[in-house]
């Protein structure tokens, strides 16, 4: 696991975009797993810049998003600020900034008539695409990946998930309040890739910023592997893992100096 610590959000985002750009250059028809939330917005902006100014080519890239609120889908009749679907978020924050083909972008369909059948279909589509080459992840305040709340099996596949009070509170403040939706009206369930689905990705890129997440970063990376902190499953991934943190998010790590030393040594020896 490469744990890379950067001074601030801007540097974290820049570094994360570089990892994704390297993946696209190495395999132009790669399959990316994508995340929502405030954390990846800077990364997506930098990818938009790389596409426009440096010709980074998304024309063959396929993407699968981690999750979507149940009962919610993109509503083109609503302005962005009122449409809190992750489908809309992805369109505004990334897909409209790069030359990706809309038919190559998959976001779970929160309005699916049969959500359980949809979850099976989503898994099949990921498999048909050849599996995910690089999965981008943020970290929820309760240590979740996607919407895999505490207690979710570390072997879970795409499923319907009830959200915890903490997640409802966090996401209400971050997104739903400004859309004029009451706390009761916001969706209490979501469709999410499972932890097993995420661990099947060939490589993982976890990005986290801010002091608020410092304790859950430490629990995920240095604590026991447990379904109570589903992101701790990162310790089970057998492939390449990059974790990019800003200084405040890294502040509770016991071995931060060691991670910095490893990064310096790798740079010195070109590893």
User: Given the rule CB under 6 A, which residues bind ligand GLP?
Assistant: 35-39, 66-67, 138-140, 146-147, 167, 171, 174
Task: Please confirm, yes or no, whether 144 is among the known catalytic residues.
Answer: yes
Task: Please confirm, yes or no, whether 149 is among the known catalytic residues.
Answer: yes
Which has the closest alpha carbon to 146: 105, 213, 99, 195?
195
Question: Side by side, which strands form the sheet with 189-192?
Answer: 67-69, 189-192, 159-162
Q: Which CB atom, from 228 or from 260, has the smaller least distance to ligand GLP?
A: 228
Q: Which CB atom, from 38 or from 82, has the smaller least distance to ligand GLP?
A: 38
Q: Which CB atom, from 23 or from 39, has the smaller least distance to ligand GLP?
A: 39
Q: Which residues of 113-149 are buried (b: 16+ CB within 10 A; e: fewer)?
A: eebeebbeebbeebeebeebbbbbbbbbebbbbbbbb
In whole angstroms, the minimum distance from the beta carbon of 35 to ligand GLP comes to 5
Q: Which CB atom, from 73 or from 260, has the smaller least distance to ligand GLP?
A: 73
Q: Is residue 3 within 8 Å of residue 245, measured between CB atoms?
A: yes
- List Cα–Cα distances, 18 to 43, 89, 156, 200, in angstroms: 9, 22, 30, 22
Q: Which CB atom, from 146 or from 196, has the smaller least distance to ligand GLP?
A: 146
Q: Report DSSP state, residue 121.
A: H
Residue identified by tokens 């379904």 is 227
In whole angstroms, the minimum distance from the beta carbon of 37 to ligand GLP comes to 3
Q: Tokens for 153?
A: 């099996």
From the list 68, 91, 123, 144, the catalytic residue is 144
In whole angstroms, the minimum distance from the beta carbon of 113 to ligand GLP comes to 23
From the list 133, 149, 200, 246, the catalytic residue is 149
From the list 142, 200, 237, 246, the catalytic residue is 142
How many other CB atoms sit within 10 Å of the CB of residue 27?
13
In whole angstroms, the minimum distance from the beta carbon of 53 to ligand GLP comes to 26
In whole angstroms, the minimum distance from the beta carbon of 182 to ligand GLP comes to 19
- As separate numbers, helices (DSSP H) first and strands (DSSP E) second, the chain gives 9, 10
Q: Catalytic amino acids?
A: 67, 142, 144, 149
């Amino acid at each position: 696991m490469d744990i890379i610590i950067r001074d601030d959000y801007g540097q974290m985002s820049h570094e994360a975009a570089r990892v994704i750009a390297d993946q696209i250059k190495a395999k132009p028809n790669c399959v990316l797993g994508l995340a929502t939330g405030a954390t990846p917005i800077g990364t997506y902006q930098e990818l938009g810049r790389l596409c426009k100014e440096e010709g980074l080519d998304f024309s063959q890239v396929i993407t699968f998003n981690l999750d979507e609120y149940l009962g919610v889908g993109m509503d083109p009749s609503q302005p962005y600020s009122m449409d809190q679907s992750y489908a809309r978020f992805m369109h505004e924050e990334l897909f409209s900034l790069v030359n990706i083909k809309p038919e190559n972008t998959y976001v779970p369909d929160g309005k699916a008539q049969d959500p359980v059948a949809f979850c099976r279909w989503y898994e099949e589509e990921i498999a048909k695409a050849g599996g995910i080459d690089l999965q981008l992840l943020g970290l929820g305040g309760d240590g979740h990946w996607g919407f895999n709340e505490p207690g979710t099996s570390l072997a879970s596949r795409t499923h319907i998930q009830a959200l915890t009070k903490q997640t409802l509170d966090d996401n209400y403040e971050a997104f739903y309040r400004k859309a004029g939706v009451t706390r009761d009206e916001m969706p209490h369930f979501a469709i999410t890739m499972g932890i097993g689905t995420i661990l099947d990705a060939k490589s993982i890129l976890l990005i986290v910023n801010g002091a608020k997440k410092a304790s859950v970063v430490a629990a995920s990376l240095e604590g026991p592997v447990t379904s109570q902190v589903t992101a701790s499953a990162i310790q089970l991934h057998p492939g390449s893992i990059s974790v990019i943190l800003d200084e405040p998010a890294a502040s509770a790590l016991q071995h931060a100096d060691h991670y910095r030393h490893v990064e310096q040594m790798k740079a010195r020896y070109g590893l």
